[in-house]
Structure 1
Amino acid sequence: MGEVRKLQKKLRQIENLEIKISLTPEERVKISRKAELRSRLAELQLQLSALQQTLGIVGDAKQEKMKRQVADASEALPSLPPPASKILKGEKKSKSQAAPAPAARHGEAEIGRQGSTELGKVSDHCQDLSGGCPESEPDQQLQQEEMEFQCLKESWEKAKFRLRLLEGHNDIVTCVVSVDNLVVSGSRDTTVKVWHVPTATEHKNLGGHTGAVTALSAPPPEYCKRLAFSLSLSDKERFILSGSADCNVKIWALSIGQCVRSIYTFNAVTALCFVPEDDGYIITGSDGGKVQAWSWHTFQHCQSVNAHQEAVTSIQAQGPLVFSGSADGGVCVWENQCSDRDPLTLLHHWSGPVTGSRGGRVTLSPRGDKVFLAYGHACIKILQWRTGTISRLTNHSSITGVTDCVHQTGSLLIGSCYDVASGESSLNLFALPQCRYLASLTWPEAPRILCFASWATGSGDHRWVTGGRDLVVWEQLPSSGRQKGDVTVRKDDRIDSSLLESEGETEEDEQSDDFEEEDDSDGCKEYQRDGSQHEVSGSWFRCVLQ
């Protein structure tokens, strides 16, 4: 096991090296050994698997003997009531999770059309069932929920997507957004590109930044009209905000492909979002942990707060609320007071030791009182931001899995998954609000997915775009027919059988922590004792901006 963990550690380091812009000769030599290390790791895992199977055969007879003894003894004892169900710490087990699920199908199946009607039906029936009903009614509702969930699951197993590669960037794609039939992508190559999805062609190349483009946001149409009127442009004009490591936020008019406004922030911009409240606000995060607010009406600076101790890696808005996540593992929740000065009021600040994110690139996606967190480990964390309660959602079957981004579209939760040991990449789908596993979407030679955007077509089908090494558009198609390279399901039985887990050190986390501490154990221990975060902050994010 010791050599396995060392190989896993080396592969993680190599994956981080590969996304650096410039490499030293020594780093290039390390990267050239990735295939060799993966081959050796696969050989060791095969040996361990064979050893476990041998031990299992020896133990089978004993297990059967014990089962017979228990069965014989139970016949002589009076019948006892069943044991009480275990309630998870910090989160009650929902009735829908307690209901037994029918046996799931094994093997791979084609993925395809899944109508918005089915999603809506499941979303409507998946609300929390409170008391006040006769005992028979909740049972019937739970059975109906379970049937609808199984129908939804089967529909995803039969779905089909066409994948189209958008070629044009010459470095990693760090951010994507969608506007109508257009996809806008930002890259470390300093450019913002606009793509026409129906034809999969580059529509415009927006050059103007001198540093890596790290974040994009699309203001709603009603806020675009106000700016378009002041600029004497069409009232149908759409604008895009781009943030960059060059300390600038630029506002682009998509139809003319020009920068109409530029805001100098005095800090490298690492995250941003648009808050559609009152006259509108632009919220930015910096590499030093600063959160800033800017007026959409005047483009003047409104507020600056040193909110985090490390780089702000994600900012998302939900109505008047703003959520910021940092490389120090902390999450801040803000309320927009719609004022000209200091519009953001801090409601909650949960630090890294609370969220369990001990450094790294945190991306977040809020939903009501919950925030879904992806922080570079095998699971997705769920933060109840009002109370600080943490739960885990399994997103990979081993500690070599990495979750880079998490996204919501309708009643779907989508988490990216990358295995550093095998190089395999996929998207895991969960039904909301219970976070029940549906399917895993993958295709041959799928690259690591670092960012995600989604929208629906006029017919209600899904269109997605994923970014990383490649920029890929996913378009949902009728399920008839099959072609080489189609998206397929790769079912993960461990994810399928898992439920939400309350916070607390699991075996997987302990293994992962030991694994990460092999080379830097002193720094990690110091972090846990005195709260210093500089020695364990995530290297992935820093590599992105180098």
Structure 2
Amino acid sequence: MGDVEGQHVGPLVGHTSTITALFFHGTRVYTGSTDASIICWGIKSTEKLFQSKGHEGAITCIFSDGTKTLSGASDKTIIVWSPDGLLLHRITGHVGGVHHIQCGVSWFASSSYGTIFVWEMIRRNETDEIVRIKCRQRLTLSQGNVTALQFSESELVTGDNMGYLKVWNIKSEEAITSVKAHQSAVTSLQVDATKAVSCGMDMIVQVTDIIQGHVLQTLRGHSAPIFAVAFDQRQIVSFSSDGEIRFWSWGR
């Protein structure tokens, strides 16, 4: 829950309220909180590297690639931070809280309820500094809200509260594939070039072919809603609300 102002012993170490966002990159972990701040932690030193404040609401999502950090919050804004936590750009446009952020080399995507914005980062050639951020596309779900967002190559992949996985072509602004993978909300999603692994409130993990548009395999075993899923070349890991973690090895 974080340290409580005035009730901690010694210097304030971390957040003063609930942690609501977490992102890992390289040797750093980034956390966001309902105290409207972001803290960057060094894994090896286990020390706080910096704490940044600029939002006026709870931090809901974080993305970092080492050269920049992006955060979204319930105040409907996105902030781009420098590697050492200085505020570079504040971006507005969403009419609700920003729930997800995914970033590519020259663009990033953000979602709020049923709307996804694709933003282009315009850089100065000499210094590679981000000088301007421009909205390039606006994608809208015909119904439902985005509950998970990932990108694969030149496409975006979304999960929604209706249980659908959709693959969006960024240039055409259209959903080129739509699969009813879950019976209720998709809670977490990871993709590679050909497949998506997703989990949901329906207590199952689905492996979906995002090119052909059909479910390849259903993994059952959890007895509570699954909140997070991730995979690599060896296994899938899923975590449910009853505190259970399951490891699924890929079949040969």
Indicate the TM-score class for this superposition, using the shorter chain for normalisation: 0.7 to 0.9
Amino acid at match of 1:436: H
Bigger radius of gyration: 1
Equivalent of residue 452 in structure 1, options 220, 225, 229: 229
Q: Secondary structure, in 3 states, of the residue corresponding to 1:337?
A: strand
Q: Which residue of structure 1 lines up, in the alignment, with residue 8 of structure 2?
A: none
Equivalent of residue 39 in structure 2, options 250, 254, 257: 250
2:28 paired with 1:208: no
1: distance between equivalents of 2:53 and 2:237? 32
Residues 342 and 382 of structure 1: is their aligned pair in 2 closer, same or farther, counting only changes over 3 Å?
same
2:75 paired with 1:288: yes
Q: Which residue of structure 1 lines up, in the alignment, with residue 218 of structure 2?
A: 440
1: distance between equivalents of 2:102 and 2:131? 18
Amino acid at match of 1:464: V
Alpha-carbon shift at residue 408 of structure 1 (Å): 1.1
Q: Secondary structure, in 3 states, of the residue corresponding to 1:437?
A: strand
Amino acid at match of 1:270: T
> CA RMSD for the aligned pairs?
2.6
Alpha-carbon shift at residue 324 of structure 1 (Å): 0.4
Q: Which residue of structure 2 lines up, in the alignment, with residue 374 of structure 1?
A: 159
2:180 paired with 1:403: no
Q: Which residue of structure 1 lines up, in the alignment, with residue 243 of structure 2?
A: 470
Alpha-carbon shift at residue 336 of structure 1 (Å): 2.3
What's the TM-score once normalised by structure 1's chain length? 0.40
Q: Secondary structure, in 3 states, of the residue corresponding to 1:293?
A: strand
2:169 paired with 1:384: yes
Q: Secondary structure, in 3 states, of the residue corresponding to 1:218?
A: strand
Equivalent of residue 412 in structure 1, options 195, 213, 236: 195
Q: Which residue of structure 2 lines up, in the alignment, with residue 344 of structure 1?
A: 133
Gaps of 5+ in 1: 1-188, 192-206, 221-237, 420-424, 480-546
Amino acid at match of 2:237: W
Q: Which residue of structure 2 lines up, in the alignment, with residue 323 of structure 1?
A: 109
1: distance between equivalents of 2:236 and 2:137? 35
1: distance between equivalents of 2:55 and 2:185? 33
Contact 1:291–1:307 (CA under 8 A) maintained in structure 2: no
2: distance between equivalents of 1:343 and 1:217? 24
1: distance between equivalents of 2:246 and 2:193? 18
1: distance between equivalents of 2:194 and 2:166? 18
Q: Which residue of structure 1 lines up, in the alignment, with residue 61 of structure 2?
A: 271
Contact 1:409–1:454 (CA under 8 A) maintained in structure 2: no
2: distance between equivalents of 1:333 and 1:321? 7
Amino acid at match of 2:106: P
Residues 241 and 334 of structure 1: is their aligned pair in 2 closer, same or farther, counting only changes over 3 Å?
same
1: distance between equivalents of 2:222 and 2:136? 45
2:66 paired with 1:303: no
Residues 302 and 377 of structure 1: is their aligned pair in 2 closer, same or farther, counting only changes over 3 Å?
same
Contact 1:395–1:417 (CA under 8 A) maintained in structure 2: no
Contact 2:178–2:213 (CA under 8 A) maintained in structure 1: no
Amino acid at match of 2:96: E
Structure with the higher fraction of residues in strand conformation: 2
CA-to-partner distance for each residue in 1:415-472, whole Å, 9 max, x for gaps? 21333xxxxx101101343233211011152x2122333334xxxx125243544252
CA-to-partner distance for each residue in 1:362-402, whole Å, 9 max, x for gaps? 32111233211112112223322222212421113x5xx22
- The alignment of Structure 1 onto Structure 2 pairs a total of residues equal to 237
Amino acid at match of 2:208: F
2: distance between equivalents of 1:295 and 1:265? 13
Amino acid at match of 2:199: S
What's the TM-score once normalised by structure 2's chain length? 0.82
2: distance between equivalents of 1:312 and 1:252? 23
The correspondence of residues 138-287 of structure 1 with structure 2, limited to 5 A, is 189-190=1-2, 208-220=14-26, 238-267=27-56, 268-275=58-65, 280-287=67-74
1: distance between equivalents of 2:119 and 2:134? 5
Amino acid at match of 2:227: L
- Give the number of the structure with larger relative contact order, counting CA–CA contacts within 8 Å between residues 6 or more apart: 1
1: distance between equivalents of 2:133 and 2:237? 32
Amino acid at match of 1:209: H
2: distance between equivalents of 1:474 and 1:265? 39
Contact 1:251–1:260 (CA under 8 A) maintained in structure 2: yes
Q: Which residue of structure 2 lines up, in the alignment, with residue 141 of structure 1?
A: none
CA-to-partner distance for each residue in 1:102-127, whole Å, 9 max, x for gaps? xxxxxxxxxxxxxxxxxxxxxxxxxx
